[in-house]
Amino acid sequence: MQASVTACSQNDTADKTSARELSRRIKDRAFVEGFEKVGVVPARVLDAAHERLTTWLERGYHAGMAWMARDPQTRTNPRKLFPEARSVVVVALNYYTPYKHAEDPATGKVSRYAWGDDYHDVVGAKLRSLLAWIKEEVPQAEGKVCVDIQPMMDKAWAVEAGLGWIGKHTNLITPEYGSWVFIGELLLNIDLEYDKTRVDDHCGSCTLCIDACPTAAINEPYVVDSNKCISYATIELRDAELPRDIAQHLEGWFYGCDICQDVCPWNRFEQVTNEDRFQPRTGNVNATLTEAFELTPQTYAQRFRGSAMKRAKLSGLQRNARALLGANGAK
Q: What digits encode the pLDDT tens for the residues 90-109?
A: 999 999 999 999 999 999 99
| 170 closest CA partner among 233, 270, 260 | 260
Quote the percentage of the chain above a pLDDT of 70: 94
Q: What's the mean pLDDT when you consider all of the chain? A: 94
- Is the CA virtual torsion 251, 252, 254, 259 positive or negative? negative
The domain limits of the chain are 21-331
Instruction: Taking residues 68-83, report their average pLDDT.
Output: 90
DSSP-assigned letter for residue 280 = P
User: How confident is residue 70, by pLDDT bands cut at 50, 70 and 90?
Assistant: confident
Is residue 277 within 8 A of residue 117, CB to CB? The reply is yes
Is residue 157 within 8 A of residue 216, CB to CB? The reply is no
The string of pLDDT tens digits covering residues 129-158 is 999 999 999 999 999 999 998 999 999 999
Q: Is 71 a catalytic residue?
A: no
Query: What is d(CA 314, CA 293) in angstroms, rounded to the nearest whole number?
Result: 9
Could you give the angle at which helices 119-137 and 2-33 cross, rounded to 10 degrees?
140
Is residue 278 within 8 A of residue 116, CB to CB? The reply is yes
Q: Which of 47, 121, 148, 195 is catalytic?
A: 148
